[in-house]
Amino acid sequence: MKIHGLLSIGCLAAIVSLTAPTFGSSGTAVIASRGAVALNGQPSPTTTALFSGDRVVTSDGGVATISSPGSTVLIPSNSQVVFNGGALDVTAGGASISTTKGMTAQVDQYLIAPATDDTAKFEIKRTRCSLSIHASTGSLTVSGRERTFTLAEGETATAMPDSATDPCPDSAVSDSTASHNHWKWTMIAAGAAGAGVIVGAAAASNQGAPYCGTGACSTPPSVSPHSPCVCPKP
């Protein structure tokens, strides 16, 4: 009788282990929701499993946190993301990612990834007509079809569509349907505004870039779309 009981318990444990979500794998996570949060088009439970391909949408007042081994993602209100295991596709709004496992983010044509050691903390803000990436901890590599550049810790990259070739869509178009092939980038170095600004569609950080002339530094950053330079400290 005791042997039969032990066999029954062992079989039950094996079944549970096969059917339970494997949160240690790269394609699964846990999402904790507060407020108006939808998961794959349905109201999200307060806490539930998240799998690769799942879409998360937060409305006004809604906030979600995705936790997977080595990575945590905070999704603010009015955002749309698709969880793809070790990557996050940000289609609208924003996300704050902290990772020690090399989690990446995709925004339009750009892939944002930790530059070294798979460790970084960074924030992304995506609107219909702008894109901002901030490297809070560690450096980032931002790779796109047209250019690749590195953001050092503390630096911010902002971009707007190139109005000449890819105008911003009408305001009636939602953030999630706005996609641009040509962005004009501006890099802002760490520290106060006077710490140095890279002007134009730069492909690198401010290291090694020449100083701008006085005319460039007294006009908006978009004046030098092809020759990045650094404005000297005042």
pLDDT 10s digits, 121-172: 999 999 888 899 999 999 999 998 877 899 999 999 998 876 655 566 554 4
Separation of alpha carbons 216 and 223, rounded Å? 7
Which range, 14-18, 51-55, 212-216, 217-221, has the best average confidence (pLDDT)?
51-55
Both structure tokens of 234: 């005042």
Instruction: Find all residues with CB under 8 Å of 222, minimum gap 6, and list them.
Output: 160, 184, 186, 199, 200
Q: Over 90: is that where the pLDDT of 18 sits? A: no
Question: Which pLDDT value is given to residue 144?
Answer: 86
Residue 35's pLDDT is: 96
Per DSSP, which regions of the chain are E strands? 28-34, 37-39, 42-43, 47-51, 55-58, 63-68, 71-75, 79-83, 87-99, 104-107, 110-114, 120-127, 130-137, 140-143, 148-151, 156-161, 183-188, 197-198
What CA–CA distance (Å, rounded) separates 57 from 67?
Answer: 16
pLDDT tens for each residue of 68-119: 999 999 999 999 999 999 999 999 999 999 999 999 999 988 999 999 899 9
Q: Give the burial string for 146-157 (b: 16+ CB within 10 Å, else e).
A: eeebbbbeebbb
Tokens of 88: 């996050």
Backbone angles phi, psi at 10, to 5 degrees: -65, -40
Task: Give the pLDDT of residue 59.
Answer: 96
Domains and CATH numbers, the chain: 86-223 (2.60.120)
Residues 196 and 85: their CA atoms lie apart, in Å, by 37
Predicted model pTM: 0.68
State which amino acid sits at residue 48: T
Give the per-residue pLDDT at 98.
Answer: 97
